[in-house]
Amino acid sequence: MAALVMQTLGCDVAALNTVQYIPADTKVGNHTGYKQWKGTKASAEEIKDLYTGLKQSYLTDFDVLLTGYAPSAETVDAVGSIARDLKLKGSMKAGSFFWILDPVMGDQGKLYISEDVVPVYRNLLRDADLILPNQFEAEILSEIKITSLSSLKEAITKLHKTHRTPHIIVTSINLPDKPSTMSIIGSTARSDSSPRIFKIDVPAIDCFFSGTGDMFAALTVVRLREAVTHADLNNTKSWVSPDDVEAEDLPLAKAAEKVLGSMHTVLSKTKEARDKELEGMAGPLGVMEKEKDSEKRIWLRKTKAAEVKVVRCLEDLREPRLDWKAEAFDENEGGGAIEHVGEPKVEQANGANVAGEREGLGMQHLAGTGKRLENGHGKKDSVDSTLPHRRA
């Protein structure tokens, strides 16, 4: 999904797969939400070989690296080696390379990678420019239990100060006093590593989707680059704004507003299509009525119906709604309590417990400069007239 989203918004994408999954009983989709799957996991050596091939052909002029799920400590380390090599290559020109790291480790208080992966991710934090953990992953990385907005602020502050991570977005925050609302909370560090924290609330959609983290990360690549260009920070290390920029005015906040605008529209349309499809399958004499004795078949049909309708909603990616704005963070909101929320754990057909490995994030995406139009030249588009062509 991530590659398609970035290509739709003007990027050329080089994708290095870390897993090859497909559900066992269907030809649609490629994620663990079906509760059963077949496929393979790439080794660290295979990932390194693919990158070496790019280097040999002088195809590593990348501006952005987006990394997600990696199946082992060795593969996470291999991905980190690629990122560090690209950062070294871009170190002669500030702002010429940016690494977005989604530290895919678990959800709802459960790890779905081996414990030896955790310290490898922590070792990568200092090199990443932006990290996209969910609430549980933010706890693991910061070693701070997040039970309130105050402790969430403490975790973000520690990640900034201890690991020198410039930008952070924590996804899937649920406030008990707002059960119908989902929040993301982000921050860009000041020069003294103190946080500038913003929050964006969007209406929650009562449906389980696979791949939303993938779509969020891919949209962030493009929208952050766009916001950074508008703020004239392309030649600034890690694209960090001056200290006097308020949290809600940060490029990261402006990018997140557009990301969530597109996502909410796409997911709303997906749920509408899902509900219509399931209604047609329901009884009397519908497909699911005939298969009411087969919970497995019903689950597979419901999961397939909820596949995110990205291809049908390309214009919604290009033209996001701007209904939800970033606000200054208030750690006392809602009494400060936070609940864990996230994707449900799924089970493989043999009964082994595996949490949904965030579909689509078994892929590392390299984004780089292709032909670029100068400021003020070329036709304006919905992404950014200065960045219509990028290699990703």
Confidence of residue 262 (pLDDT cuts 50, 70, 90): very high
For the residues 306-314, what does the mean pLDDT come to? 91
Binned at pLDDT 50, 70 and 90, residue 64 comes out as very high
Higher pLDDT, residue 159 or 307: 159
Query: At which residue do the structure tokens 């030809």 appear?
Result: 27
Question: Which stretch of 43-57, 234-248, 275-289 has the lowest confidence by average pLDDT?
Answer: 275-289
Is there a contact between 392 and 11 (Cβ–Cβ < 8 Å)? yes
Distance between terminal CA atoms of the chain?
A: 13
User: What are φ and ψ of residue 218, in 5° steps?
Assistant: -65, -45
Q: Is the pLDDT of residue 135 over 60?
A: yes
Q: What is the pLDDT of residue 1?
A: 85
Whether the CB-CB separation of 229 and 386 falls below 8 Å is answered with yes
User: What is the per-residue pLDDT for 376?
Assistant: 31
**Cα angle, residue 214 at apex, residues 386 and 317 outer, rounded to 5°:** 45
29 confidence band (pLDDT: 50, 70, 90)? low
**Helices and strands per DSSP (H, E), number in the chain:** 11, 16
Q: What pTM did the predictor assign?
A: 0.84
pLDDT score recorded for residue 142: 97
Phi (first) and psi of residue 96, to 5 degrees: -80, -10
Strand, helix or coil at 330? coil
> Residue 10 in contact with residue 387, Cβ under 8 Å?
yes
What is the number of alpha carbons within 13 Å of residue 169 lying toward its C-beta? 29
Q: Tell me: pLDDT of 48 over 50.
A: yes
Nearest residue to 216 (alpha-carbon basis) of 176, 274, 262: 262
CB 113 within 8 A of CB 251: no
